[in-house]
Amino acid sequence: MSVDATEPSALAETAALPWRGGFGRLWSAAVVSRFGDGLRGAALPLLATSLTTNPLLISLVTAAGYLPWTVFGLLGGAVADRVDQRRAMRSVDAVRALLTGAFALTVALGHASITLLLVLAFALTTLQTLFDNAATALLPAVVPTTVLGRANSRLMTGQTIASAFIAAPLVAALLALSAGAPFAVDAASFAVAAALVASLPIPVRERPPRPAGRTLRRDMAEGLRTLWRDRVLRSLCAANTTANIGVGALVATLVLQVTGWLHAGHGGFAAVITAYGIGSVLGGAVAGRLGRWLGTARALAAGLLVQTGCLAVLGSVRSLPAAITVMAVFGALGMVWNVSEVTLLQERTPMALLGRVSAANRTLSVAGAPLGALLGGAAASAWGLNAPALVAAALFTCASGALIPALVSFRRVIN
């Protein structure tokens, strides 16, 4: 555990990002895999609505995609620290390719059911807990520490473009061919990603022998303790969890706010979502520069404050152009947060613990989203369709307060 409160991501990145070789292949694997995820994420709800009109059953398909992080997230991180991350990622994507390919065939033959959708969503996300934690732990072995921020930015931006601007518009065309076509392409994307990860030119890292009696339970507990003991990472996790409650409240009811409160219809909702996606891409492009200019902690704090203002405008100004504008800004700063948070976590955590600390952070953060969704629905029912945005603004204000310990740590170093 790093006890020095330095802020390496705020230093000038002088080394070039090594696209050839390891990072280029890892980036390609991540983007191809996210493209397939985007196809499946858009096609699953549409398939669910063709199988049932029960809103609860349809919502359970989405919930099944969150639940494994709460149940298996810590376990995935502990396993990621015990095994060769490259082999783990390759194996996970190979299994996901087989599962999704079998599901595509089942759909094409007309044997799909809501139960099968729930099982698929749960199984794929369970495997994702290992894949994502292994990928976070692997990146520092692929690129120099001095360019981690830039590498994370390029990864997340590429994934956003592949999912939001390529996969989502393609779903309609694939569904016109066959109900199983999006899932067949998703299976192919997993297979391609597995091959790319397998080709990564990374030397096998020697691991110290584990003490006798070392259990996965103790490994998971060590990840939680390490996260808790680092003041900066603890502060980031608390802020992220609080903000994610607000995001969950917003996302669960945004379609109702745009179509009902703004009376903008489905076209207005599509415009708001598109603006958010464009903002996310732009945010990924400037995240590294903003972090170097302001310093990572100050960039995070400033972003949270501006996002709070965006949510306040969204919940109080009854205007579609205003909603489009603030959601674009909100998306850009959300990407800045994601890039900066992951980079700081990678910089401050020992390599041997990175999978477990990443898992602890993800598990706690993701747990806020379903709680926020319930809160958003209750707020919309009690106070109106614009209330969830205002509740989210209040939660983002609290998240800004939770970030203060990180700011204090960095200020002490500067002074």
Least confident span in 175-184, 212-221, 336-345, 369-378: 212-221
Residue 415 has pLDDT above 50, yes or no: no
Q: Which helix (H) or strand (E) holds 334?
A: helix 320-348
Q: Which residue has the higher pLDDT, 176 or 53?
A: 176
Full-model pTM:
0.70
Average pLDDT for 42-48: 76
Least confident span in 145-154, 184-193, 253-262, 340-349: 145-154
Neighbours of 414 (CB within 10 A): 9
Q: How far apart are the first and last CA of the chain?
A: 23
Residue 261 has pLDDT above 90, yes or no: yes
Least confident span in 36-45, 320-329, 335-344: 36-45
Identity of the residue numbered 213: G
Neighbours of 63 (CB within 10 A): 14
Residue 89 has pLDDT above 50, yes or no: yes
Residue 48 has pLDDT above 50, yes or no: yes
Residue 9 has a pLDDT of: 43
Residue 396 has a pLDDT of: 96
Residue 262 has a pLDDT of: 93
Least confident span in 25-39, 223-237, 329-343, 356-370: 356-370
Asked if 342 and 136 touch (Cβ cutoff 8 Å), the reply is yes
Asked if 188 and 104 touch (Cβ cutoff 8 Å), the reply is no
pLDDT band at 174 (very low <50, low <70, confident <90, very high): confident
Nearest alpha-carbon partner for 340 in 393, 286, 392? 286
State the residue for tokens 């969503």.
121
> What's the residue count for the chain?
415
pLDDT band at 413 (very low <50, low <70, confident <90, very high): very low
Average pLDDT for 170-175: 81
- d(C-alpha 94, C-alpha 37), whole Å: 14
Identity of the residue numbered 278: I
Q: Which residue has the higher pLDDT, 349 or 305?
A: 305
Residue 126 has a pLDDT of: 85
Residue 158 has a pLDDT of: 86
Q: Where are the domains of the chain?
A: 18-202, 219-408
pLDDT band at 77 (very low <50, low <70, confident <90, very high): confident
Residue 103 has a pLDDT of: 94
State the residue for tokens 């603890």.
234
Q: CATH: 1.20.1250.20, 3.10.310.30, 3.40.50.300, 1.10.1240.10. Which one for 18-202?
A: 1.20.1250.20
Tokens of 202: 């990374």
Q: Which residue has the higher pLDDT, 327 or 62?
A: 327
Residue 241 has a pLDDT of: 92
Q: How many CA atoms are closer than 13 Å to the CA of 270, on its beta-carbon side?
A: 6
Architecture per CATH, domain 219-408, reads as Up-down Bundle (1.20)
Nearest alpha-carbon partner for 137 in 299, 292, 361, 334? 361
Q: Which residue has the higher pLDDT, 164 or 260?
A: 260
Q: Which residue has the higher pLDDT, 196 or 288?
A: 196
Average pLDDT for 211-229: 77
Residue 255 has pLDDT above 50, yes or no: yes
**Percent of the chain predicted with pLDDT > 90:** 21
- Rounded to the nearest integer, the mean pLDDT of the chain is 81
Residue 203 has a pLDDT of: 56
pLDDT band at 7 (very low <50, low <70, confident <90, very high): very low
Phi and psi at residue 318, in whole multiples of 5°?
-90, 75
pLDDT tens digits, 98-141: 999 999 999 989 888 888 988 998 898 888 878 887 887 788 87
- d(C-alpha 256, C-alpha 205), whole Å: 50
Nearest alpha-carbon partner for 334 in 373, 307, 314, 296? 307
